[in-house]
Amino acid sequence: MANYNNQSSIANPSPLGLLGFGMTTVLLNLHNADIIPLSIVTVAMGFALGGAAQIIAGIMEFKKNNVFGATAFTSYGFFWWSLIIIWINPFEKIAAADKISMGFYLLLWGIFTLLMFIGTWKINRSLQVVFLTLTVLFFLLAIGDFTGNHLINLIAGWVGIICGLSAIYTGLAQVINNEYGKEILPL
């Protein structure tokens, strides 16, 4: 017999998406802050945790009828995959990314993120911090590419580290609060 109950019995996918986003964002922005070089470590993390884990979380959010979570996680998961494709440029006859193209790419993500930030006003402070710092990060990276100013990219790196850490905190707070059945870590 078909179950017509609209309630989903799947677990909250948000921690998976937030941890995938947060850990990958910290790693990439350690590079942007000139702390580590860009290497296969960041590419692999971006593909697996930043990309695949967020896409899975996004699909699960669709199942839970969470439009915000579904849109955020699938979009940012595919952001990581598109960024990796840009980095490795597997298409011989297509020019590699230049600073102006990357500036527009990051600007578009900044605009999208700014509008998604508005959606967090109804959710919780912790997600507001994640999306506000991510908005600032994208705009700083876009400005850094448009101007060629390395200092702006360094500042963006530190903003990105804060953004990623805030996403990690938010994801782990959701896990811990769920396990204890009460708020242990505030959101």
Cβ atoms within 10 Å of 59's Cβ, excluding its own? 14
Q: Is 30 in contact with 161 (CB distance < 8 Å)? A: yes
Reported as a single tens digit per residue, the pLDDT across 130-185 is 999 999 999 999 999 999 999 999 999 999 999 999 999 999 999 999 999 999 99
First to last CA, the chain: 40
Task: Report pTM.
Answer: 0.91
Instruction: Report the C-alpha gap between 81 and 102 in whole angstroms.
Output: 15
Q: How confident is the model at residue 3 (pLDDT cuts 50, 70, 90)?
A: very low
Q: How confident is the model at residue 92 (pLDDT cuts 50, 70, 90)?
A: confident
Q: How confident is the model at residue 7 (pLDDT cuts 50, 70, 90)?
A: low
What separation in angstroms does the CA of 41 have from each of 28, 44, 55, 137?
9, 5, 20, 21
Residue among 89, 72, 64 nearest 21 (CA): 72
Q: Residue 8 corresponds to which amino acid?
A: S
What's the whole-number mean pLDDT along residues 45-54?
Answer: 95
Q: Residue 8: pLDDT above 90?
A: no
**Sequence spans of domains, the chain:** 14-180
